[in-house]
Amino acid sequence: MSPKAPDKVTAEFNDKRLEELRKARGWTQAYVAEQLGCSDRLIWRWERAKCTPHATLFIGLDRLFGVRFEDWFK
């Protein structure tokens, strides 16, 4: 018998990691937004856990910060 799959995914976007990585590089929210093709207001919302990045933007986040997709979650 195979193990039962979890009923619910409990991982959440790690908003603090994004802010820490950005500040460690000396980047502004505007710079990150420009690199991703979105608004700095959206970066602000991600860093304050007001919303989560759309799945397609994780590719840009991964490349920009050199972080693997799964490392963005707690």
Return averaged pLDDT per consecutive 10 residues of the chain, 74 residues in all.
Answer: 48 90 98 97 95 90 93 86
**Per-residue pLDDT at 66:** 95
Q: Give pLDDT, residue 41.
A: 97
Q: What is the pLDDT of residue 6?
A: 42
Q: What is the DSSP string of 39-67?
A: -HHHHHHHHTTSS---TTHHHHHHHHHT-
CATH number of 15-67: 1.10.260.40
Report if pTM > 0.85: no
Q: Domain boundaries in the chain?
A: 15-67
Contact 52, 18 (CB under 8 A): no
pLDDT of residue 9: 46
